[in-house]
């Protein structure tokens, strides 16, 4: 049993694959098999933030000034986003236990901490807005929300077995879908409300930067590396395409439900479909696969999300530098 913690007969650190290897047990940040794991770890660490840094003092007053439809979009969006982060934190623990490269495992550990931090941020924000219990319990009343959560959870659970490299690849695909598909419309909805709810907007800025600047690159690299290190048959790649098609369906089903029942200015079913298709094609390219969805010009919602991904686009107040800044760095395209 001790070999789990110290295994002198394990692989050399530079030989540890993501799956199927045997580690000595050492985490050595000076020797990495890959180009990207330490870089993503350092970027995650440099951009650590805490919910208390975001000003939510006026969130209740601002929330009460929204229209009825805007209030429902706000609540149903945060109800779904909070599930995403909770599910991802639990999934990461399972995926980490199956991985064998210790530096990749270390990076997954840091991501787990950030997912918990996101969950804390929703609690802080919704407590300030005065609707925490209502929002967190919405899945008990709203069938569309419950169905989306159930479908995401089922996709997470489908391949998290560790039986083969092929299943590890498909499991990583589920996380690419979560980080790259299931959050994005929700981010766009809150940015659409924008200055009406600045506390929510600013909290989402930090969450979205974590998800898109480090968490998505991490799992895109894990997917590509598992594929490179193992003989992955075409049938498994076909399943990857099936999984992202399913993710698109999950996201559009819930997005259509929100827009049909709680229409707000500027949002339409056509807009969200074009947005999700564009996101899905981009995610496929990032994991080295060919895009399969109809592509269109960059949409208004995409531009909103990209605007807030700009690392330091908020004007700095010297005494609030943690809130308005985010470390400038990038992941090389060859590593993504």
Residues that are catalytic: 122
What's the maximum distance between 2 C-alpha atoms anywhere in the chain?
64
Say if residues 46 and 327 touch (Cβ distance below 8 Å): yes
Say if residues 81 and 186 touch (Cβ distance below 8 Å): yes
Q: How many residues does the chain have?
A: 336
Taking the CA atoms of residue 80, residue 199, residue 60 and residue 319 in that order, the dihedral angle to the nearest 10 degrees is 150
Say if residues 76 and 145 touch (Cβ distance below 8 Å): yes
In the 8-state DSSP scheme, what is residue 298?
P
Nearest to 175 by CA among 128, 222, 125, 121: 222
Say if residues 142 and 72 touch (Cβ distance below 8 Å): no
């Amino acid at each position: 049993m001790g070999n789990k913690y110290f295994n002198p007969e394990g692989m050399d650190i530079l030989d540890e694959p993501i799956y199927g290897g045997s580690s000595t047990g050492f985490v050595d940040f000076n020797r990495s098999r890959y180009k990207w794991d330490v870089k993503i770890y350092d970027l995650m660490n440099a951009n650590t933030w805490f919910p208390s840094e975001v000003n939510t003092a006026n969130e209740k007053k601002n929330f009460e000034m929204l229209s009825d439809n805007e209030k429902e979009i706000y609540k149903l969006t945060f109800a779904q986003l909070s599930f995403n982060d909770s599910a991802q934190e639990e999934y990461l623990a399972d995926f980490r236990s199956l991985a064998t490269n210790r530096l990749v495992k270390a990076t997954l550990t840091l991501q787990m901490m950030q997912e918990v931090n996101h969950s804390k941020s929703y609690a802080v924000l919704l407590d300030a807005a005065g609707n925490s219990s209502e929002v967190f319990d919405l899945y008990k009343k709203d069938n569309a929300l419950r169905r989306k959560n159930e479908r995401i959870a089922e996709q997470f659970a489908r391949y998290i077995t560790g039986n083969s490299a092929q299943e590890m690849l498909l499991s990583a695909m589920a996380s690419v879908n979560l980080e790259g598909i299931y959050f994005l419309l929700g981010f766009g909805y809150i940015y659409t409300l924008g200055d009406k709810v600045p506390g929510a907007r600013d909290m989402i800025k930090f969450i979205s930067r974590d998800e898109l600047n480090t968490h998505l690159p991490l799992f895109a690299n894990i997917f590509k590396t598992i594929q490179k290190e193992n003989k992955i048959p075409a049938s498994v790649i076909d399943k990857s395409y099936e999984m992202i098609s399913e993710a698109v369906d999950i996201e559009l089903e819930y997005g259509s439900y929100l827009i049909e029942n709680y229409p707000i200015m500027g949002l339409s079913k056509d807009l969200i479909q074009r947005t999700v298709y564009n996101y899905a094609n981009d995610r496929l390219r990032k994991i080295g696969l060919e895009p399969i969805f109809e592509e269109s010009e960059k949409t208004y919602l995409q531009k909103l999300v990209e605007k807030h991904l700009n690392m330091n686009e908020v004007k700095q107040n010297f005494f609030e530098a943690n809130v308005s800044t985010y470390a400038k760095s990038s992941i090389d395209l060859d590593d993504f």
